[in-house]
Amino acid sequence: MELIITMTKRLIFTLSFILIFFVAACQGIASGNASAIDSTPQTTVVKTPTLMPSPTATDAPVPTGTPTQPTCTMTTGILANIDIPSELLGKPVNANIYLPPCYDAQPDRTYPILYMLHGQAADDKQWIDLGLIDNIDLLIEAKVIQPMIIVMPYEVSWRTGPEESNFGSALVNEVIPFMEENYRVCAERVCRAIGGLSRGGNWAVYLGFQYPDVFAAIGAHSAPLFYGELGRIDVALTHNTTVEELPALYIDMGKKDENRDSILEFVNTLKEFNVPYEFYENDGRHEAAYWSAHVTDYLLWYSRKLTKTNPDA
């Protein structure tokens, strides 16, 4: 054991001596090299820096493309009551106006417009009471129909027909221009529809045939038509317009509607002139329960017939 310890000590001593010698030799070499470098004159080459132009505001790329609409999470529209000036009637036309969700939040959008007329002895709240506004909010939120503006004007005097009343002329010549000047409405025929129930449907048919270049679609819901309307339709189709120029036409009624015979006569007249139309006879009567049950059907049809003004809607 002692022999192993003695040999180990000798080995350590020998290695230490070799290490010390090696370090001393390296320092000598380093010292010699340092002297050689210091004795050689150095030539310093000064390079003139290349000046780079500072970036300006115009150097940055300018983003291109159509700005996106602000994000909006509203799910209900705005309902307002307004007075629309009318010289033809001698007093304003009072109307309920529905503006779709996000109307104020997205000012670059334009909208198609639907005019919905109430029945006899009712007022401009009739369609609201039937659930029109609640239903359109739900359908827009579900992206089943496109957002649109709805105008529900009030016809104060509802006992006279179009020969004596200026209500129809006021709608076409005053209410429509007012809406297109004061609201973001698509001011083209393909963006404009009119419909109504009972007497309101009579007005829709009358105006649709008298002004076929104004409306893209007509909705006649339980509408027996004004007295003499079939004769006016005959004249219009014989002398003033062609079938191709007419708006799209939707007709519906309840099977127990008190005006069923008059409505069927209207449908038969359309057949005689080969006028395209959609006709639906459902269960029900000439009453609020019937129209309320079919509000969604009406809105779906109008939306399909109106040009889509916002492709992402």
pLDDT tens for each residue of 193-238: 999 999 999 999 999 999 999 999 999 999 999 999 999 999 999 9
Domain residues for the domain of 154 are 80-305
- If one counts the domains in the chain, the total is 1
185's CB contacts (< 8 A; 6+ apart) are 110, 111, 112, 113, 149, 179, 191
In a domain, 168, yes or no: yes
pLDDT at position 52 over 90: no
pLDDT at position 262 over 80: yes
CATH number, residue 210:
3.40.50.1820
In a domain, 9, yes or no: no
- The pair phi, psi for residue 134, each rounded to 5°, is -60, -40
∠ Cα 270 166 185 (to 5°)? 75
pLDDT at position 290 over 60: yes
Per-residue model confidence as pLDDT tens digits over 169-199: 999 999 999 999 999 999 999 999 999 999 9
In a domain, 110, yes or no: yes
Per-residue model confidence as pLDDT tens digits over 111-161: 999 999 999 999 999 999 999 999 999 999 999 999 999 999 999 988 889
In a domain, 61, yes or no: no
In a domain, 169, yes or no: yes
pLDDT at position 51 over 80: no
In a domain, 63, yes or no: no
Instruction: State residue 239's pLDDT score.
Output: 87
> What rounded mean pLDDT belongs to the chain?
83
Give the residue among 33, 134, 35 at the shortest CA–CA distance from 76.
Answer: 134
Instruction: State residue 309's pLDDT score.
Output: 77
Instruction: State residue 148's pLDDT score.
Output: 97
In a domain, 2, yes or no: no
